[in-house]
């Protein structure tokens, strides 16, 4: 088995000054986006990674000289692709944060793509995670975005481990892993043709632990479902599946009330919580230090389909 | 095997310099090795022993192992296309941390397109670990003959000026007489490095398979040096010098947030950039390039706040005492220190399947500025297979050569060995927009 974990040994991580360095790098990338592109947008879902990127953007483009509040406005709009299957409390959080910050939010609705016929569902309750790509690419086309900033991290998944910080997408929004441009120093090659675009990932080099350390250090607000709460769940194939209208109990199943938190928040039909009593970001840091299951492994049904599920979705234009 | 060395190894007995207290940056290192050198196993071992691997990933490995010993190399398995072909295509980035430090591994595949991948991994790396498979060494020859790939990987890391080069002599567990073999290889590596002008940070014996001397020290009376992890915890990150003149490429020009109407209609602008070398402080006089105008710094900004000074490696926003014509791509420096050049000698690593053509116009990025450029001449090409210098009129993919480049406009260049920011450029093919080459400035004319 793995080397035994010694909590005492790992606790200095809580004091990791390397966060300053990661912050420095991320802010540099965000300014590179704004300086290098004409119509960028920042993907904001209310999820924890996008909350981190949003705070980094505030630090990059606003200031709080002479007060606690950031002054100024971000030089790009926020964009969210709403599958219609998002957790209502996350959508409520998203709208509240955007209003508090005085930023502009654009929402691409998967329902609109279904109505247009560009997305066809085989089953009304199926996961809409993969279908997001269509709505995302339609939003890019509609608003003529040339760069989308996202909160993806290389430690999440093996296809992401190979992705560039500035990732080129062709006219179909496709990621072509074999055609990636070598990324040398910070001399990013962001040259594009008119119908192409880029995805930029300022927190590529962050791990899940770095994200929680930063959330704790910066006191960044998050939707409540990231912290311990009571919820109706059903145990299914080793995962805790939340019971909802979209994910009803199946014949013969018994639900139970458990104290859980979500480690990732995505489409309701494919995101599962873990059992946890962690009530705040510091508790979660402590728990992350002892955790034995990877973030996506514990919580995402969509990545379990095959070894290459993420890679295939990314090639089609997923983020 | 010849009795090359009977003395115990001394070089690795030196105490390790502790990491500077202020050095909180992650250490970026690349791993270079050919197929079967045990590179994937080494990385898997570092991730596994530092608990960067979690139970579900381990389950996957155990399922694949089907009762046999877990194959740690599968942890670095990448894309579907790679698994199908049994090769790795591209550099992958891996992360692990110890209580002392965070690490970023740039895992460069060793065979296919090795120059291209190694250049990508080496740019910005603080260290290179070159894997040496000790079981592949031919002892029959009387003297130790290093494998071509070992020399190639070390030489590439050296040409790309990776600051610390480490040889990890792997599969030490597979030998009956590890001490004698390691000592002989150690001597051969040192002789090769001295001959090629390569400064070696360390030579360590390891067994990636068993985990010996990776995270746990090797318990052998013939080796008392550090484990690989101890060494990695102590290696310096690359820091640009903070003394001397200021140099900063302007990345982004922003309006100062908030209301600043002073009745004159003067809207302050903040000139953002990451300092390439030197320091800047409020009150300092600076010169702009290319305009040549001078101004005084009246305020400095760092992420979200005001500061009095900033230094190399930090992004800073300058507010000047007068409205000047400045845009992205310009440079800010200590007056009289920006010395523009339009012709320079450089090492060029070619990464594109379209060969480099003398006289053709490319675009290059230096700092934050794109300019036109052409290769005036190719001095010689290093044949990375035979390691010989040969005359050349073009450079093909994976070639490295010495070239003279002419720019469409002068730029404040510095040799790469002195400053990475002012001494590096990428070459882009304007027809395909592909990143075709990497230039490391050697001589500024």
- Under the banding of pLDDT at 50, 70 and 90, the label for residue B404 is very high
**Residue A310: what pLDDT?**
65
Instruction: Provide CATH 3.40.50.300 ranges for chain B.
Output: 11-234
- Residue B329, SS3 per DSSP: coil
In this prediction, residue B343 carries a pLDDT of: 97
Instruction: Determine the straight-line distance between the first and last CA of chain A, rounded to whole angstroms.
Output: 34
- Position B6 scores a pLDDT of 28
pLDDT at B40: 82
Instruction: Flag if B51 and A3 touch (Cβ within 8 Å).
Output: yes
Three-state DSSP at B425 gives strand
Residues 6+ apart with CB under 8 A from A88: none
- Rounded mean pLDDT of A31-51? 96
- In angstroms, the CA A265 to CA B300 distance is 39
Mean pLDDT of all residues in B218-225: 87
Mind listing the pLDDT tens digit for each residue in A253-281? 899 999 999 988 877 777 889 899 999 88
The predicted-structure confidence for B102-151, as pLDDT tens digits, reads as follows 899 998 876 656 778 888 899 889 999 999 999 988 777 677 888 888 88
Rounded Cα distance, B389 and A21, in Å: 40
User: Which one is predicted more confidently, A64 or A122?
Assistant: A64
B68 alpha-carbon distance from chain centroid: 37
- Give me the pLDDT at residue A9, please: 46
Q: Give B36-65 pLDDT, tens digit per residue.
A: 778 888 888 888 877 666 555 666 666 666
CB within 8 Å: B252 and A308: no
**pTM of the entire structure?**
0.89
Long-range contacts of A6-9 (CB under 8 A, 24+ apart): A7/A286, A7/A289, A7/A290, A9/B99
Q: Report the candidate in A95, A94, A93, A142 with the shortest Cα–Cα distance to residue A116.
A: A142
Q: A162 to each of A52, B94, B135, B217, B374, how far by Cα in Å?
A: 22, 9, 31, 31, 31
Nearest to A142 by CA among A81, A84, A191, A75: A81
| pLDDT at residue A126, rounded to an integer | 75
> pLDDT tens-digit profile of A231-253?
999 998 888 889 988 888 889 88
Residue-level pLDDT at B437: 95
In this predicted structure, the answer to whether residue B264 has a pLDDT above a threshold of 60 is no
Q: Note whether B439 and B431 are within 8 A (CB).
A: no
Q: How confident is the model at residue B9 (pLDDT cuts 50, 70, 90)?
A: very low
Q: Tell me which residue in A17, A177, A307 faces B81 most closely, judged by beta carbons.
A: A177
**Residue A224 tokens, joined:** 């409540």
Which residues from chain B sit within 8 angstroms of residue A237, using beta carbons?
none
Q: In whole angstroms, give the CA distance from residue B414 to residue B437.
A: 18
Q: Which residues of chain A make contact with B435, given a CB cutoff of 8 A?
A: 181-184, 189
Report pLDDT for A222. 96
Q: Which fold has domain A12-220+307-315?
A: Rossmann fold (3.40.50)
Question: Left (φ > 0), alpha (ψ -120 to 50) or beta: where does B51 sit?
Answer: left
Say which of A12, A18, A158 has its CB closest to residue B77.
Answer: A158
- Whether the CB of A280 is below 8 Å from some CB of chain B: the reply is no
Using a CB–CB cutoff of 8 Å, tell me whether A29 touches chain B: no
Nearest-CA distance B4 → chain A (Å): 38
What pLDDT sits at residue A113? Answer: 83
Give CA B282 to chain center in angstroms: 33
Q: Is the pLDDT of residue A80 over 50?
A: yes
Which chain A residues contact residue B90 at CB under 8 A?
162, 177-178, 180
Answer yes or no: are the C-beta atoms of B168 and B204 closer than 8 Å.
yes
Instruction: Kindly report which listed range (B75-89, B159-173, B185-199, B279-293) carries the lowest average pLDDT score.
Output: B75-89
| Residue B251 · residue B277 · CB < 8 Å | no
Are the beta carbons of A233 and A241 closer than 8 angstroms?
Answer: yes
Under the banding of pLDDT at 50, 70 and 90, the label for residue B67 is low
- A45 Cβ neighbours under 8 A, 6+ residues apart: A80, A81, A86, A90, A94, A265, A266
Q: What is the pLDDT of residue B41?
A: 84
Give me the CATH code for the B247-333 domain, please: 2.40.30.10
Which residues fall within 8 angstroms of residue B62, CB to CB, at 6 or more apart? B70
What per-residue confidence (pLDDT) applies to B377? 94
Chain A touched by B348 (CB under 8 Å): no
Contact with chain B for residue A244, Cβ under 8 A: no
| Mean pLDDT for chain B overall | 84
Tell me the mean pLDDT in the region B367-394: 85
Q: Binning pLDDT at 50, 70 and 90, where does residue B243 land?
A: confident
Q: Over 80: is that where the pLDDT of B14 sits?
A: no
In DSSP notation, chain A reads -PPPP-HHHHGGGGG-THHHHHHHHHHHHHHHHHHH-SSEEEE--SSHHHHHHHHHHHHHH-B-TTSSS-BS--SS-EEEEE-S-S-HHHHHHHHHHHHHHT--EEEEEHHHHHHHTSS--SSTTS--TTTHHHHHHHHHHHHT-SEEE----TTS-TTGGG--SEEEE-TT----GGGPPP--TT-------TT-EEEE-TTTT--HHHHHHHHHHHT----GGGS-EEEEEEEETTEEEEP-SSSPPPTT---EEEEEEESS---TTTB-EEE----SHHHHHHHHHH--S-HHHHHBSTTSS-TTHHHHHHHTT--
pLDDT of residue B164: 95
What are the Cα distances from residue A270, in Å, to A45, A244, A298, B154?
Answer: 16, 12, 11, 47
Residue B161 contacts A, CB cutoff 8 Å: no
List the single residue in A34, A35, A64 with the smallest CB-CB distance to B305: A64
pLDDT band at A145 (very low <50, low <70, confident <90, very high): very high
Q: Which residues of A touch B26 (CB under 8 A)?
A: 18, 21-22, 205
Residue B220: its pLDDT value, please?
A: 84
pLDDT exceeds cutoff 90 at B372 = yes
pLDDT beyond 90 at B296: yes
Residue B384 has pLDDT above 80, yes or no: no
Q: Do residue A61 and residue B257 have CB atoms under 8 angstroms apart?
A: yes
Q: Which sign, positive or negative, has the C-alpha torsion A60, A65, A67, A72?
A: negative
Topology annotation, domain B341-444: Elongation Factor Tu (Ef-tu); domain 3 (2.40.30)
Q: Which residue would you say has higher pLDDT here, B67 or A165?
A: A165
Which tens digit of pLDDT belongs to each residue from A203-232? 999 988 889 889 988 889 999 999 999 999
Residues of A in contact with B304 (CB under 8 A): 58-59, 62-64, 70
More confident residue, A43 or A111: A43
Which one, of B292, B247, B300, B254, lies nearest residue B274 by Cα?
Answer: B247
Long-range CB pairs of B64-72, under 8 A, 24+ apart, other chains included: B71/B41, B72/B40, B72/B41, B72/B44, B72/B45, B72/B48, B72/B208
A&B contacts, CB < 8 Å: 180
At B213, is the pLDDT very low, low, confident or very high (cuts 50, 70, 90)?
A: very high
The whole-angstrom separation of Cα B256 and Cα B306 is 12
In percent, the amount of chain A with pLDDT more than 90 equals 44
B252/A34 touch (CB, cutoff 8 Å), yes or no:
yes
* Structural domain spans, chain A: 12-220+307-315, 224-299
Quick one: angle between helices A208-218 and A18-36, nearest 10? 90
Ranges of CATH 2.40.30.10 domains, chain B: 247-333, 341-444
Sheet architecture: strand order including B92-97: B92-97, B102-107, B27-32, B127-133, B164-170, B200-205
CATH 3.40.50.300 at B11-234, yes or no: yes
Residues A114-140 have pLDDT tens digits of: 888 888 887 777 777 778 888 889 899
Percent of chain B at pLDDT exceeding 90: 52
Out of A37-41, A131-135, A175-179, B69-73, give the one with best mean pLDDT.
Answer: A37-41
Closest CA to B200 of B188, B216, B213: B188
The rounded mean pLDDT for chain A is 85
The pLDDT, as a whole number, for residue B209 is 87
CA A280 to mean position of chain CA atoms? 19
Q: Name the residue among A58, A180, A293 with its Cβ closest to that of B54.
A: A293
In A, minimum Cα distance to B427 occurs at: A189
Q: Report yes or no: A34 at the B interface, CB cutoff 8 Å.
A: yes
Distance from CA of A57 to the nearest CA of B (A): 9
Assess whether pLDDT exceeds 50 at residue B87: yes
Task: Concatenate the DSSP letters of all residues of B3-40 into one string.
Answer: ----SPP-GGGSPPPPPPTT--SPEEEEEE--TTSSHH
Mean predicted confidence (pLDDT) in A170-188: 88
**Global ipTM:** 0.88
Question: What does the pLDDT read at residue A147?
Answer: 97
Torsional sign, CA B337, B342, B343, B346: positive
Query: If 0-12 CB within 10 Å is exposed, 13-18 middle and 19+ buried, where does residue B21 land?
Result: exposed
Statement: residue A294 has pLDDT above 70: no
Q: Which residues of B touch A205 (CB under 8 A)?
A: 26, 93, 95, 104
């Amino acid at each position: 088995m793995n080397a035994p974990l010694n909590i005492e040994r790992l606790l200095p991580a809580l004091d990791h000054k390397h966060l300053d360095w990661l912050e420095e790098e991320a802010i540099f990338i965000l300014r590179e986006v704004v300086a290098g592109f004409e119509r960028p947008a920042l993907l904001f879902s209310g999820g924890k990674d996008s909350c981190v990127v949003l705070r980094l953007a505030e630090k990059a483009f606003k200031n709080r000289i002479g007060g606690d509040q950031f002054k100024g406005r971000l030089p790009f709009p926020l964009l969210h692709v709403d599958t219609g299957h998002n957790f209502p409390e996350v959508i409520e959080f998203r709208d509240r944060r955007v209003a508090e910050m005085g930023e502009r939010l654009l929402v691409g609705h998967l329902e609109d793509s279904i109505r247009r016929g560009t997305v066809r569902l085989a089953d009304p309750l199926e996961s809409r995670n993969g279908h997001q790509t269509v709505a995302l690419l339609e939003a890019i086309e509609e608003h003529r975005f040339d760069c989308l900033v996202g909160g993806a991290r290389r430690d999440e998944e093996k296809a992401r481990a190979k992705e560039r910080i500035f990732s080129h997408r062709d006219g179909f929004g496709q990621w072509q892993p074999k055609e990636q441009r070598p990324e040398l120093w910070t001399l990013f090659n962001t040259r594009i043709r008119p119908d192409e675009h880029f995805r930029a990932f300022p927190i590529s080099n962050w791990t899940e632990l770095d994200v929680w350390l930063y959330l704790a250090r910066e006191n960044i607000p998050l939707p409540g479902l990231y912290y311990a709460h009571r919820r109706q769940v059903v145990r299914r194939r080793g995962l805790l599946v939340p019971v909802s209208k979209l994910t009803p109990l199946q014949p013969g199943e018994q639900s139970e009330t458990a104290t859980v938190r979500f480690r990732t928040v995505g489409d309701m039909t494919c995101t599962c919580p873990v059992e946890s009593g962690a009530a705040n970001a510091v508790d979660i840091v402590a728990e992350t230090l002892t955790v034995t299951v990877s973030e996506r492994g514990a919580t995402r049904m969509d990545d379990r389909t095959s070894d290459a599920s993420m890679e295939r979705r990314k090639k089609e234009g997923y983020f | 095997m010849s009795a090359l060395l009977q003395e115990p190894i001394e070089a690795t007995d030196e105490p390790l310099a502790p990491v500077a207290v202020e050095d909180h940056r992650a250490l970026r290192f690349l791993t270079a090795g050919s197929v079967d050198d045990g590179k994937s196993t080494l990385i898997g071992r570092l991730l596994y022993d530092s608990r960067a691997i979690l139970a579900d990933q381990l389950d996957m490995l155990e399922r694949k192992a089907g009762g046999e010993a877990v194959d740690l190399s599968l942890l670095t398995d990448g894309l579907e296309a790679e698994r199908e072909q049994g090769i790795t295509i591209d550099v992958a980035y891996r992360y692990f941390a110890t209580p002392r430090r965070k690490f970023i591994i740039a895992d460069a595949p060793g065979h296919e397109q090795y120059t291209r991948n190694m250049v990508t991994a080496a740019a910005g790396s603080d260290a290179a670990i070159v894997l040496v498979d000790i079981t592949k060494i031919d002892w029959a020859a009387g003297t130790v003959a290093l494998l071509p790939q070992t020399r190639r990987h070390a030489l590439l890391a050296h040409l790309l000026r990776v600051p610390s080069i480490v040889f990890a002599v792997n599969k030490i567990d597979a030998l009956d007489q590890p001490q004698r073999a390691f000592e002989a290889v150690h001597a051969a590596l040192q002789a090769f490095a001295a001959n090629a002008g390569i400064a070696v940070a360390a030579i360590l014996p390891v067994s990636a398979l068993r985990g010996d001397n990776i995270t746990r020290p090797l318990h052998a009376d013939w080796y008392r040096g550090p484990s690989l992890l101890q060494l990695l915890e102590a290696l310096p990150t690359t820091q640009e010098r903070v003394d001397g003149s200021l140099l900063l490429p302007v990345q982004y020009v922003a309006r100062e947030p908030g209301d600043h109407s002073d009745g004159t209609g003067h809207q302050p602008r903040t000139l953002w950039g990451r300092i390439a070398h030197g320091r800047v402080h409020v009150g300092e006089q600076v010169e702009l390039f290319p305009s040549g105008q001078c101004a005084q710094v009246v305020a400095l900004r760092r992420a979200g706040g005001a500061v009095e000074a900033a230094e190399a490696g930090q992004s800073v926003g300058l507010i000047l005492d007068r409205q000047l014509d400045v845009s992205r791509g310009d440079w800010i420096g200590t007056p009289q220190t920006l010395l523009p050049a339009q012709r320079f000698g450089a090492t060029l690593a070619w990464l594109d399947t379209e060969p480099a053509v003398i006289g053709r116009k490319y675009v290059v990025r230096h700092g934050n500025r794109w300019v036109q450029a052409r290769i005036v001449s190719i001095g010689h090409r290093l044949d990375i297979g035979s390691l010989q210098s040969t005359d050349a009129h073009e450079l093909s993919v994976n070639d490295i050569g010495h070239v003279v480049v002419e720019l469409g406009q002068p730029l404040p260049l510095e040799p790469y060995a002195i400053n990475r920011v002012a001494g590096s450029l990428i070459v882009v093919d304007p027809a395909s927009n592909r990143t075709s080459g990497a230039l490391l400035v050697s001589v500024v004319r």
